[in-house]
Amino acid sequence: MKKLAYLALLLLISFTLAACNREDTGDRTVIEFWHVSPVGSDSYSGMRRIIRDFNESQDDYFVRGTGINFWDYWDKINIAIASNTAPDIGYHTLDNVIFRAGNNALYNISDLIREDIENGVDTIDVSVFSENQLEFATYDDDLYALPFSATVRMMFYNLDLFAEAGLTEDDVPTTWSELYEVAKQLDDVSGNTINVLGFDPSFGEGTYHQYLWTAGLDFFDEDLNPTLNTDRHLEILEWMYDFNKEYPRSVLDAFGEANQMLGINPFAAGRVAMMVANDGLYETLRPLEGQLNYGVAPIPVPDEDGVRVNWGSGFSIEMYNKNNPERREATWAFLKYLMDHDKQIELSDTLGWLMSNIPAMEEYAEGNPILEAFVNELEYAVDKVYVPYAPNWHAVDWVQFFEQGQSSALTPEQVLQQARNLYIQKRENYEAAN
Amino acid sequence: MQMSEIKKEDKMPILSLKQKRRIKNGVIHLVLISLSFIFMFPFIWMLFTALKTPAELLAGIGTLLPNDPQWSNFRVAVTTVPFFLYLRNSLIIVFFAVVGTLFSATLSAYAFAKLTWPGRDTLFVIMLATMMIPGQVILIPSYILYNQIGWLGTRLPLTVPYFFGGGAAFYIFLLRQFYKGIPRELGESAIVDGAGHFKIFIYIMLPLTKPALLTVSLLTFMFVWNDYFGPLIYLSNPDHWTLALGLRGFQTQFTGRYDLMMAAAILVMLPTLILFFAAQKYFIEGITFTGIKG
Amino acid sequence: MAKRKKLTLSALKKQERVLGFVFASPWLLGLIIFGAFPILASLYLSFTRYQMVGLPTWIGLANYRSLLFNDSIFWTSLWNTFYHVFLSVPLGLFVGICLALLLNSRIRGISIYRTLFYLPNVVSIVAMSFLWLWLFQPHFGLINQVLRPVYDFFNMEPLGWYRDSSLSKMTIILMGLWTAGGSMIIYLAQMQDIPRDYYEASEIDGANSFQQIIKITLPLMTPSIFFNFIMGIIAGFQVFAVAYIMTQGGPGRSTYYYGYYLFDKMINDNNMGQASAMAWILLIITLIITLLALKLNKYVFYLGEQD
């Protein structure tokens, strides 16, 4: 009993001791910045340096950075936004900026730019960002966020496997019929086991909406009514399902499971010769440099009327509305610092992301053919539309149906029909609540 | 069949009582050993994964044994984050949570088990009902509440509620079941002797239900120790982070280092394991009421 | 003498009415201070459109109407959840009790065994799920490898486990049994409270171990069995994490549980209003079933309430 009381006392003392040991910030305006580079992560020291450099570069503002690991960041910031305790500045997803802007959670960036111009101060040049990304940051004709990172999807191809099949970089397909032809030459199957698969449209980040776009179609029309009901929609879905139909489902399943068991990206493992993926795979492959020869190319398009386009997502950087002019000013200064040409390069190097500042990325990518290709593809990147009644239309809502089609539990017609019905139902319920 | 045959020959036992017990124990051992493989497997798998090199992991998790055990993975997990700072933070929160739960759950359980008061049964059902609401939907209102009273960014939301039965409905119900099992005569005779309910509670109930209290402490410890979500949303200063939260950083966006992830997970679970091992012997030494007739 | 005792008892009864509140006050105060606002707020939100940004707007019963009358997934997820509860609760009770009986032996090394059987409860659910995926894989998983002779004997296709929509719920239930050691420690704690002289008396009467279990151990374990039964129901209706990590609700929404749908409503659709409505519908369902289950209380043998 005595021991226990002693222990309690000890803990209490350490409790109080730990209460206050943060930096002395004097009378500077202190702002909070939440990022995804926590202690222990590879990007931690780089991010800390970037913040420290800002704090040392001037005497008016002080940025306090908090790194939260990527998976948990979203829970933390969404709960904080919901209860008006968001940081002054942080990342979010670019494709739903209008949702937060429409609910008055964000500062108007266009206002800040206009104020700078009136006062004759250097401001952010928005022409460095891609048009499409800016569109997603725009609400009511004004910017409410800035694009921060720019994710691009491309087709990775394994040159070692190409060489084994007697192919060269000149054979990299650009259309669907070329894709099919090349893929079949790359297939390596012994008996009931697939050793190497040339290509599968659903592997990696190959998504139905991505392929629809390349054919000039989409899930929704301009008024956000679900489409999915044309013959062409069906054709493209069948193209995805039937690409490797010469192999029985169980053989393909076994191949997929083997990939899962490896716990590694099938492209990195040399088990898939061509695969659609984003620039994250480039980061994954970096440790394998020299062991794996590969290149990236635009995603092949349908033979007729194909559109060069890729699903480009990205993070936004947002200033959360705190109704505090001093902190608004400080946050704006920090945002301008982050969006600066050289800082964008430094950030790209630290985070391993492609940043939104295109000229900066062009400079960063110079001499690296893979990165150069990604940067070139930025202008063809289009983010997915924000559908208020089904914000996750491309993931949770769609994937269940798509997978049932893959396992033949549903016919392709049923997949499209049922998905469309779900969107319609969601829209009815959304409208009933408005 | 065998049993009855042995019984028949009771007069001239082939097997002595000692031998019989030995055979019985042997069978139990056999069953336990084979079963424990099944239950041990997850841990062994974690350990082996934690000891692999990244190259081995790339080669596939199909092989179980690591070729070249990387004990350094544990060192990496300990040194890349302020491990001991996080450990201390975890201990602080766990300590108050366990003390708080024991305090509020035992008292309240006594009220539900041994006292008759108006509204008791209704409140008991309300208590059960509080567990039936999925936690997600009360998360934001709770967060707003703690923000209003200025507790955000401190350890208070993670400790104080335990003294007020926060999350204790489970334990109150559990202890109620145990208290109801304590023979009534024990309490009644004490009351006749002039002892109040507080005395009965402290001198009879608590000592007689040590295994249950231990269970409650252990379960609270485990829950709070492994909870990363509360610290994630309520703490703002990384210097207050707990182990469970701090070590989640090993799952970053691009580098899914399973080896480090498992090493970190083992480090998080080890204290719980040691605690359990130390505590379980009290289960067998539990109190026996000799001399009391039911 | 007798008169004085009677008076004291009635005075004590009166005293008890107050003391009940005093003893329950930590929890009662907590309910009022920390619990009432969030709980009532979620009830209020269930009648609003609230997207977790901005302010909620009152829309009456619209959320409930949408869920009950125009939402096919709602009913799928509810059915999946009922399936899970009705199978996992009895199975979990059975395995937990068996383990506890086995581990209540006084044999050498019992502490090691107990720790080993408890291990899966300590392992993080993420690590556990990775392992399960690996073990249950239809083509390469260890479990199907081990069962291969059985499949060959019956000349049947290997089971698809979590990849087969007719087996996926059952697979998750089986995996849940791995953590049955969690209820085991509650049973063990209860078993220590059983007076030893009961066993001694029955041994003199010539009862064997099996009879002792049936006649003494099991009846006296009913309070903790009852506890695990009720808690199993409450927790079972909120099943979610395992499906989230392992099957993402699939295949074909076969493991898309009610809690999962609620989570998606909140996180992916930003529809806190409907998520709250779902929570309150679940509360009502669970409450009704729990109240029915509480009727079983009369079969529970509380040693302290026997005369």
**Residue at A233 is within a domain:** no
Q: Nearest residue on chain B to A280, judged by CA atoms?
A: B254
Of A14, A39, A79, the CB nearest to B140: A79
Tell which of A311, A333, A368 closes a domain. Answer: A311
Separation of CA C84 from chain center: 11
pLDDT at A4 over 70: no
Q: What is the DSSP string of C92-112?
A: HHHHHHHHHHHHTS--TTHHH
Let me know if C2 is exposed, middle or buried by CB neighbors in 10 A (0-12, 13-18, 19+): exposed
pLDDT confidence tier of residue B26, bands split at 50, 70 and 90? confident
Of the residues A15, A45, A74, A313, the best mutation for testing chain B's interface (the one with the most B CB atoms within 10 Å of its CB) is A15
Domains of chain C: 76-302 (1.10.3720.10)
pLDDT confidence tier of residue B6, bands split at 50, 70 and 90? very low
Residues A63 and A91 in one domain: yes
The encoded tokens of residue A216 equal: 């000039």
Helices (H) and strands (E) in chain C, counts: 15, 2
Q: For A122-140, what is each residue's pLDDT tens digit?
A: 999 999 999 999 999 999 9
User: For residue C53, which residues of chain B lie inside 8 Å, CB to CB?
Assistant: none
pLDDT confidence tier of residue B292, bands split at 50, 70 and 90? very low
Residues A88 and A49 in one domain: yes
Separation of CA B267 from chain center: 17
User: For residue C278, which residues of chain B lie inside 8 Å, CB to CB?
Assistant: 134
Peptide bond into C251 cis (omega under 30): yes
A vs C: CB pairs below 8 A: 88
- Cβ contact C116:B37 at 8 Å: no
Q: What is the pLDDT of residue B288?
A: 42
Q: What is the pLDDT of residue A337?
A: 95
Measure the CA–CA gap between C43 and C45, rounded to whole angstroms: 5
- Cβ contact A153:A213 at 8 Å: no
pLDDT at B62 over 70: no
Higher pLDDT, B250 or C194: C194
Dihedral (Cα; C202, C208, C212, C213), 10-degree rounding: 170
- Cβ contact B155:B92 at 8 Å: yes
Residues A127 and A270 in one domain: no
Q: What value does the mean pLDDT of chain A take?
A: 90
pLDDT, mean of residues A54-74: 92
Strands A61-67 and A29-35: parallel
Residues A56 and A146 in one domain: yes
Let me know if A4 is exposed, middle or buried by CB neighbors in 10 A (0-12, 13-18, 19+): exposed
ipTM of the prediction: 0.88
pLDDT confidence tier of residue C251, bands split at 50, 70 and 90? confident
Residues A37 and A121 in one domain: yes
The encoded tokens of residue C5 equal: 């005792």
B152 interfacial to chain A (CB closer than 8 Å): yes
Shortest Cα–Cα distance, C57 to chain A (Å): 9
Higher pLDDT, B247 or B255: B247
pLDDT at C6 over 60: no
Dihedral (Cα; A135, A136, A142, A144), 10-degree rounding: -150
**Residue at A410 is within a domain:** no
Of A41, A66, A70, the CB nearest to B236: A66
Of B80, B143, B232, the CB nearest to A40: B80
Quote the percentage of chain B above a pLDDT of 70.
81
Of B147, B228, B245, the CB nearest to A85: B147
Place of tokens 């019989």: B20
pLDDT confidence tier of residue B73, bands split at 50, 70 and 90? confident
Strands A153-158 and A274-278: antiparallel
Q: For C279-305, what is each residue's pLDDT tens digit?
A: 999 999 999 999 999 988 888 888 777
Count of Cβ atoms closer than 10 Å to residue A112 Cβ: 20
pLDDT at A208 over 60: yes
pLDDT, mean of residues A337-349: 94
| Contact check, Cβ <8 Å, B42/C120 | yes
Q: Nearest residue on chain C to B277, judged by CA atoms?
A: C115
User: Which residue type occupies B251?
Assistant: Q
C10 interfacial to chain A (CB closer than 8 Å): no
User: Which residue type occupies C162?
Assistant: Y
Residues A180 and A287 in one domain: yes
Q: For A130-175, what is each residue's pLDDT tens digit?
A: 999 999 999 999 999 999 999 999 999 999 999 999 999 999 999 9
The encoded tokens of residue A37 equal: 């580079």
Q: For C258-287, what is each residue's pLDDT tens digit?
A: 999 999 999 888 899 999 999 999 999 999
**Residue at A210 is within a domain:** no
Measure the CA–CA gap between C94 and C98, rounded to whole angstroms: 6
Measure the CA–CA gap between C143 and C129, rounded to whole angstroms: 15
**Residue at A307 is within a domain:** yes
pLDDT, mean of residues B40-52: 80
User: For residue C267, which residues of chain A lie inside 8 Å, CB to CB?
Assistant: 78
Per-window interface: A 6-35 vs B, CB < 8 A? 7-8, 11, 14-15, 18, 21-22, 32
Identify the three-state secondary structure at position B256.
strand
A108 interfacial to chain B (CB closer than 8 Å): no
Shortest Cα–Cα distance, B154 to chain A (Å): 9
| Contact check, Cβ <8 Å, C51/A103 | yes
Residues A176 and A303 in one domain: yes
**Residue at A11 is within a domain:** no
Residues C57, C61, C64: CA angle, nearest 5 degrees: 110
B236 interfacial to chain A (CB closer than 8 Å): yes
User: For residue B41, which residues of chain C lie inside 8 Å, CB to CB?
Assistant: 131
Q: What is the pLDDT of residue B285?
A: 54
| Contact check, Cβ <8 Å, C49/A433 | yes
Measure the CA–CA gap between A319 and B61, rounded to whole angstroms: 43
pLDDT at B105 over 90: yes
| Contact check, Cβ <8 Å, A432/C62 | yes
Quote the percentage of chain C above a pLDDT of 70.
96
Q: What is the pLDDT of residue B284?
A: 55
Q: Which of A84, A324, A87, A316 lies closest to B236, judged by CA?
A: A87
Q: What is the pLDDT of residue A432?
A: 87
Least confident of A114-123, A141-150, A241-250, B13-22: B13-22
Separation of CA B116 from chain center: 30
Q: Helices C142-154 and C125-136 meet at what angle, rounded to 10? A: 30
List of residues 6+ apart from A8 with CB closer than 8 A: B95, B99
pLDDT, mean of residues C249-265: 91
| Contact check, Cβ <8 Å, B251/A71 | yes
Q: What is the pLDDT of residue C302?
A: 82
Q: What value does the mean pLDDT of chain C take?
A: 86
Q: Residue C60's beta-bridge partner residues?
A: none
Is the Cα torsion angle A173, A175, A176, A178 positive or negative in sign?
Answer: negative
pLDDT at B60 over 60: no
Residues A132 and A267 in one domain: no
Domain region containing A139: 25-151+313-382
Q: What value does the mean pLDDT of chain B take?
A: 80
Of the residues A396, A402, A425, A427, the best mutation for testing chain C's interface (the one with the most C CB atoms within 10 Å of its CB) is A396
Higher pLDDT, C10 or B58: C10
pLDDT at B252 over 60: no
Residues A271 and A189 in one domain: yes
Count of Cβ atoms closer than 10 Å to residue A99 Cβ: 20
- What length is written for chain A? 434
Q: For C46-66, what is each residue's pLDDT tens digit?
A: 999 998 888 899 999 999 999
Per-window interface: C 25-44 vs B, CB < 8 A? 25-31, 33-35, 37-39, 41-42
pLDDT at B107 over 70: yes
User: For residue B283, which residues of chain C lie inside 8 Å, CB to CB?
Assistant: 114, 185, 188-189, 192
List of residues 6+ apart from C176 with CB closer than 8 A: C88, C92, C242
Q: What is the pLDDT of residue B58?
A: 56
Of B46, B169, B285, the CB nearest to C123: B46
Measure the CA–CA gap between C119 and C182, rounded to whole angstroms: 9
Shortest Cα–Cα distance, B122 to chain A (Å): 33
A242 interfacial to chain B (CB closer than 8 Å): no
Tell which of A266, A294, A311 closes a domain. Answer: A311
Q: What is the pLDDT of residue A327?
A: 94
Measure the CA–CA gap between A305 and A299, rounded to whole angstroms: 14
What are the helix (H) ranges across A83-228? 97-102, 109-118, 131-136, 159-164, 176-186, 208-214
Q: What is the pLDDT of residue A32?
A: 94
Tell which of A251, A284, A311 closes a domain. Answer: A311
Q: What is the pLDDT of residue B257?
A: 66
Measure the CA–CA gap between C160 and B167, rounded to whole angstroms: 38
Shortest Cα–Cα distance, C78 to chain B (Å): 14
Q: Where are the domains of chain B?
A: 29-70, 82-284
Residues A163 and A33 in one domain: no
Q: What is the pLDDT of residue C248?
A: 85
Of C27, C127, C181, the CB nearest to B262: C127
Least confident of B1-5, B20-24, C163-167: B1-5
Q: For B205-214, what is each residue's pLDDT tens digit?
A: 888 888 889 8
CB crowding A325-349: b at 16 or more within 10 Å, else e: eebbbbbbbbbbbbbbeebbbbbbe
Q: For A409-434, what is each residue's pLDDT tens digit?
A: 999 999 999 999 999 999 999 998 87
CATH class name, domain B82-284: mainly alpha
Q: Residue C198's beta-bridge partner residues?
A: none
Of A99, A254, A409, the CB nearest to C139: A254
Least confident of A322-336, B93-107, C188-202: C188-202
Count of Cβ atoms closer than 10 Å to residue B145 Cβ: 21
Q: For A184-200, what is each residue's pLDDT tens digit?
A: 999 999 888 899 999 99
pLDDT at B63 over 70: no
Q: What is the pLDDT of residue C162?
A: 87
R_g over Cα of chain B: 25
- Cβ contact A151:A160 at 8 Å: no
R_g over Cα of chain A: 25
Q: Helices C110-122 and B258-279 meet at what angle, rounded to 10? A: 140
What stretch of H or E contains B90?
helix B83-114
User: Which residue type occupies A138?
Assistant: T
Q: What is the pLDDT of residue A8?
A: 57
A3 interfacial to chain B (CB closer than 8 Å): no
Of A83, A261, A263, the CB nearest to B144: A83
The CATH number of the domain where A178 resides is what?
A: 3.40.190.10
Q: Residue A319's beta-bridge partner residues?
A: A89
The encoded tokens of residue B254 equal: 């691009």
**Residue at A58 is within a domain:** yes
**Residue at A408 is within a domain:** no
Residue B75 φ then ψ, to 5° = -65, -40
pLDDT at A216 over 50: yes
Q: What is the pLDDT of residue C127?
A: 72
Highest mean pLDDT among B33-42, B274-283, C252-261: C252-261
User: For residue A103, which residues of chain C lie inside 8 Å, CB to CB?
Assistant: 51, 53-54
| Contact check, Cβ <8 Å, C185/B283 | yes
Q: What is the pLDDT of residue B293?
A: 34
Identify the three-state secondary structure at position B135.
helix
A280 interfacial to chain B (CB closer than 8 Å): yes
User: For residue C140, which residues of chain A lie inside 8 Å, CB to CB?
Assistant: 254, 257-258, 261
Residues A168 and A307 in one domain: yes
Structural domain count, chain A: 2
pLDDT confidence tier of residue B247, bands split at 50, 70 and 90? confident
DSSP tag of B204: I
pLDDT, mean of residues C248-252: 85
The encoded tokens of residue B141 equal: 């209102």
**Residue at A362 is within a domain:** yes
Measure the CA–CA gap between A196 and A257, rounded to whole angstroms: 14
User: Which residue type occupies A84?
Assistant: N
Q: For A9-63, what is each residue's pLDDT tens digit?
A: 555 555 544 544 556 677 899 999 999 988 878 888 999 999 999 999 999 999 9
Measure the CA–CA gap between B282 and C90, rounded to whole angstroms: 28
Strands A146-147 and A315-319: antiparallel
C142 interfacial to chain A (CB closer than 8 Å): no
Q: For B180-224, what is each residue's pLDDT tens digit?
A: 888 777 767 776 666 678 888 888 888 888 888 988 998 899 889
Identify the three-state secondary structure at position C179.
helix
User: For residue C268, which residues of chain A lie inside 8 Å, CB to CB?
Assistant: 391-392, 395-396
Measure the CA–CA gap between C303 and C298, rounded to whole angstroms: 13
Residues A307 and A322 in one domain: no
| Contact check, Cβ <8 Å, B248/A66 | no
Q: For A89-135, what is each residue's pLDDT tens digit?
A: 999 999 999 999 988 899 999 999 999 999 999 999 999 999 999 99
| Contact check, Cβ <8 Å, C192/B129 | no
- Cβ contact B116:C20 at 8 Å: yes
